[in-house]
Structure 1
Amino acid sequence: MKHFLLLLLSFFAPVVWAQQVEQFKLWPDKPEASEAEIFVYHPAKSGKAAPAVLICPGGGYSGLAMDHEGHDMAKWYASNGFVGVVLKYRMPKGVHTIPLSDAEKAMSLIRGNAAKWNVDTHKVGVIGSSAGGHLAASLSTLAADANRPDFAILYYPVISFDKMNTHGGSKKNLLGNDIGNQELIDRYSLQKQVDDKTPKTLLLLSDDDKSVPPLNSILYYTALNEHHIPASLYMFPDGGHGWGFRYNFTYYQEVKDLIQKWLKHIKITD
């Protein structure tokens, strides 16, 4: 029994080491923004700088699915040699600049702490799910050049704020009283904001998503393709919305395999 327990501990030891996590306030000098935080999951030590991912959970810009669209993802990435950073961004409550300012700050912190966290500054990506996918795509298209990611992985993202295609709750929560402002609707219809600096992108979604129409991802993929930006889109036949890293999603393993192959293809991993 003793030998069995030792063997079990030795089997799990690398996983425990890979799950070391630190927590930081994004705006330590701004009490009004105290809820904005990042959780940094470190991989096992290696001889070279690691790629990193900033993970933006979904929640319709009214809450955050921090586990299956946040921490669970970060743990998996850390176990695969990444620095996984979960972003707990502030809810906008109609102040549309808030989430993107948090995402840009988080990205600047990752690159600013590259030496300390052993991050390869040319391999810093963003991951986002649902409304978090909208935030990740905002970071990919609207952010200052220094804060844009090197690659993006978007799960069933909200992309368009056009009336026929959008997720109404995300739009209302982000724009608030400006929900009818056409300039802002166009700004946050992110397929219209893709440019030559938008990063390579992987889109993952389900055909039967009733919350965020699949056309959102298709519009974004089309815009990327028109700008000759490498992009891949995988639409699973079922699964609905919000599956993230849930084990009961039928294509749970396929999603992980596709991500790993895509990251190798774009030369983020070996």
Structure 2
Amino acid sequence: MSSDRRQFLGSLSALAAAPLLSGRALAAEGADAVASARFPIWPGSPPGLPTGGVTEERVLRTNKGNPDDFAWPHVAVPMLTVCPAAKPTGAAVLTFPGGGYARVAMGTRPSATSRWFASQGVTAFELLYRLPHDGWTGGPDTPLQDAQRAMRVIRANAAKWGVDPANVATIGFSAGGHLCGSIATRFAAKVYDPLDAADALDARPLVAGMFFPVVSMAPPLAHAQSRRELLGPNPGEDLSRRYSVNLDVSGNAPPILLGHAADDAVVDCGNSLAMFEGCRAAKIPSELHVIEKGGHGAPLFEPDGRAGLWLTRFARFAARHGLRIPSDGA
């Protein structure tokens, strides 16, 4: 066995290796275990393992009362965290966290956003995806490989979670919004070789929500860190245009909701405007919300714990386009 392979396997740390999960595996430890289930999306090594392997790293972002507030600067094993709905409607949502493609900002347990979706009857998944700077041979397509695979694994196992495979939405925040836009526009792109039956399934989401998203990879709109981490230090014009999501919207894209704050000093709200124009040009059902103030990462919840603007707008938009999520009072 090569040293690269040993290093990768060492990072698995007793994780289940097969993404096509058996019903017995899901039920083995009862409902509590299912509620916080995490599992790898690839059977064995993800595609394009670099020479020298990847050593996974997780760091605590803050000590302000949240022991699960982590960032992952290096990801060796892409994972899905699932938060099953107590009373499933058949709908599911796949969330892509942000991090400027330099890290992935997510914990090891379902986030407040996932728990909110689960409370609405929507089974919620969050993806810990790989980062191009670790040298994966997929380069800028590495995160999209994981996004496509995650969607297919969810659909392959849909019956086990009470999910209708045709009723799966995606949402993404910041750089995760770019990944959300990428799977919405490039769901059919062949970015990895099929490995099993799951890879014959469609990766197109029913509907997508992009919040304070990175969209353009071309100056002046591009978020400098996301552009550098995804494409390298000096990407040419052709490469920058190829990964500008707003320039890749086709008539087959799902309905897309966009939300941004006008005073966002991290990711220019022009990114959402550009994506909206791309959707309009392709005649894709779309909706754009720009609020006056909120900065980058405007709170998703009100101080009293109620869902905030972005989640309620998404619920209404997604319900209108077929996602089985309550919209009354949202």
TM interval, shorter chain, is 0.7 to 0.9
User: Contact between 1:141 and 1:195, CA under 8 Å: does it hold in 2?
Assistant: yes
Instruction: Give the TM-score of the pair, scaled to structure 1.
Output: 0.85
| 1:174 to 2:243 alignment | no
User: What residue in structure 2 maps to residue 121 of structure 1?
Assistant: 165
SS of 1:161's partner is coil
Counterpart amino acid of residue 232 in structure 2: G
Relative to total residues, which structure has the larger helix share, 1 or 2?
A: 1
User: What residue in structure 2 maps to residue 208 of structure 1?
Assistant: 263
User: Contact between 1:42 and 1:84, CA under 8 Å: does it hold in 2?
Assistant: yes
Counterpart amino acid of residue 83 in structure 2: Y
Please state how far the C-alpha of 1:182 moved relative to its aligned partner.
2.5
- Which range moves more in the overlay, 192-201 or 23-32? 23-32
User: What residue in structure 2 maps to residue 245 of structure 1?
Assistant: 300
User: What residue in structure 2 maps to residue 36 of structure 1?
Assistant: 78
| 1:184 to 2:226 alignment | no
User: Contact between 1:25 and 1:34, CA under 8 Å: does it hold in 2?
Assistant: no
Please state how far the C-alpha of 1:213 moved relative to its aligned partner.
0.7
* Whole-angstrom distance in 1 between the partners of 2:311 and 2:297: 16
User: What residue in structure 1 maps to residue 131 of structure 2?
Assistant: 91
* Whole-angstrom distance in 1 between the partners of 2:307 and 2:169: 21
| 1:50 to 2:106 alignment | no
* Whole-angstrom distance in 2 between the partners of 1:261 and 1:45: 19
Counterpart amino acid of residue 167 in structure 1: H
* Whole-angstrom distance in 2 between the partners of 1:230 and 1:103: 22
Identify which of 1, 14, 22 aligns with 2:37.
Answer: 22
Question: Unmatched 5+ residue regions in structure 2?
Answer: 1-30, 50-74, 190-201
User: What residue in structure 2 maps to residue 226 of structure 1?
Assistant: 281
SS of 2:103's partner is coil
* Whole-angstrom distance in 2 between the partners of 1:82 and 1:252: 14
User: What residue in structure 2 maps to residue 11 of structure 1?
Assistant: none
- 1:139-196 Cα deviation digits (max 9, x unpaired): 111221721211101111000011110100000000115x323222111111110001
SS of 2:235's partner is coil
* Whole-angstrom distance in 2 between the partners of 1:182 and 1:252: 40
* Whole-angstrom distance in 2 between the partners of 1:112 and 1:236: 38
| 1:158 to 2:214 alignment | yes
Compute the RMSD of aligned alpha carbons: 2.4
User: Contact between 2:299 and 2:308, CA under 8 Å: does it hold in 1?
Assistant: no
User: Contact between 2:210 and 2:256, CA under 8 Å: does it hold in 1?
Assistant: yes
Relative to total residues, which structure has the larger strand share, 1 or 2?
A: 1
SS of 2:308's partner is helix
* Whole-angstrom distance in 1 between the partners of 2:299 and 2:179: 16
User: Contact between 1:59 and 1:65, CA under 8 Å: does it hold in 2?
Assistant: yes
Please state how far the C-alpha of 1:247 moved relative to its aligned partner.
4.6
User: What residue in structure 1 maps to residue 181 of structure 2?
Assistant: 137
* Whole-angstrom distance in 2 between the partners of 1:136 and 1:53: 11
Please state how far the C-alpha of 1:227 moved relative to its aligned partner.
1.6
Instruction: Give the TM-score of the pair, scaled to structure 2.
Output: 0.70
Counterpart amino acid of residue 22 in structure 1: A
Please state how far the C-alpha of 1:262 moved relative to its aligned partner.
1.7
* Whole-angstrom distance in 2 between the partners of 1:173 and 1:244: 26
Please state how far the C-alpha of 1:99 moved relative to its aligned partner.
0.5
SS of 2:111's partner is helix
User: What residue in structure 2 maps to residue 107 of structure 1?
Assistant: 151
Q: How many residues align?
A: 249
Please state how far the C-alpha of 1:265 moved relative to its aligned partner.
1.9
Question: Unmatched 5+ residue regions in structure 1?
Answer: 1-15
